[in-house]
Amino acid sequence: MGVLKRFEQRLEGLVNGTFAKVFKSEVQPVEIAGALQRECDNNATIWNRDRTVVPNDFIVELSAPDFERLSPYSGQLGDELAGLVRDYANQQRYTFMGPIKVHLEKADDLDTGLYRVRSRTLASSTSQSADRGPAGPPPRPAGGPAGAPPMPSTPP
């Protein structure tokens, strides 16, 4: 099955690349959404009978003209694309290891209309999350004796 999947990916890349070069069309967000869905399908990892994990951190590399055109909307577009990936994952019964993030980057080696998607699976960390910052509870009260057990943390 792996050989067939690689052949399909190469064929898809040839067709998409040829059309993009011949017609010089700009990348549309709907194309990126489809590529993100394919990226999930191609990188799905079965952990057990009830859990299939897919990437949650996506980098979409765009040509310079496409990046310049879409970058003013990158925050909102990233959120919209992340929502579409989340909806697709729910339909397919995929799970994520952390929050879904979609970033746009400029790639100088791509022509107008071409794009590349990279993905990875990042586990969320409750103590050092980028969204929360260093606001986690301290490991031990500062004034307590060194040999004393740590105080239980209770919500205020």
Supply angle C-alpha 57, 61, 62, rounded to 5. Answer: 140
**Whole-number pLDDT of residue 87:** 97
Which of 39, 58, 69 is CA-nearest to residue 122? 58
Which of 41, 44, 42, 37 is CA-nearest to residue 60? 37
Residue 124 pLDDT class (50, 70, 90 cuts): confident
CA–CA dist 101, 88 (Å, integer): 15
Phi, psi of 118 (to 5 degrees): -115, 145
Domain locations in the chain?
28-120
Please, what is the average pLDDT of the chain? 77
The class level of CATH for 28-120 reads alpha beta
Residue 96 pLDDT class (50, 70, 90 cuts): very high
Q: Give tens-digit pLDDT for 3-47.
A: 555 555 555 554 455 444 444 578 999 999 999 999 999 999 999
Contacts of 117 (CB under 8 A, 6+ apart): 32, 35, 36, 39, 58, 59, 60, 61
* Average of per-residue pLDDT across 52-72: 96
